[in-house]
Structure 1
Amino acid sequence: MPSISARIPDEDEEALIDVAELLDEDKSTVIRKALREELTELRVRRAIERYQSGDVSANQAARIAGVGIAEWLEIARDRNLTTQLSPDDLEGDADRAREL
Structure 2
Amino acid sequence: MGTISARVPDDLEAELEVYLEEENLDRSTAVRKLLIEGLEEWRMERALDKLEAGEITFSRAAELADLSVWELARLAEDRNVTWVDGDRLEDDLDAL
Q: TM-score range by the shorter chain?
A: 0.7 to 0.9
CA-based RMSD of the aligned residues comes to 1.7
Q: Report the number of matched residues.
A: 96
The match for 1:48 is 48
With structure 1 as the length reference, what TM-score do the two structures score? 0.83
> In the TM superposition, what whole-angstrom CA distance separates every residue of 1:17-51 from its partner, at most 9, and x where no partner exists?
00011111111111011000000111111111111
> Take 2:52 and 2:30, find their aligned partners in 1: how far apart are those partners?
32
> In the TM superposition, what whole-angstrom CA distance separates every residue of 1:45-96 from its partner, at most 9, and x where no partner exists?
111111111111111111111222121112112212112x542532442454
Gaps of 5+ in 1: none
The match for 1:32 is 32
The match for 1:14 is 14
> Take 2:11 and 2:63, find their aligned partners in 1: how far apart are those partners?
35
With structure 2 as the length reference, what TM-score do the two structures score? 0.86
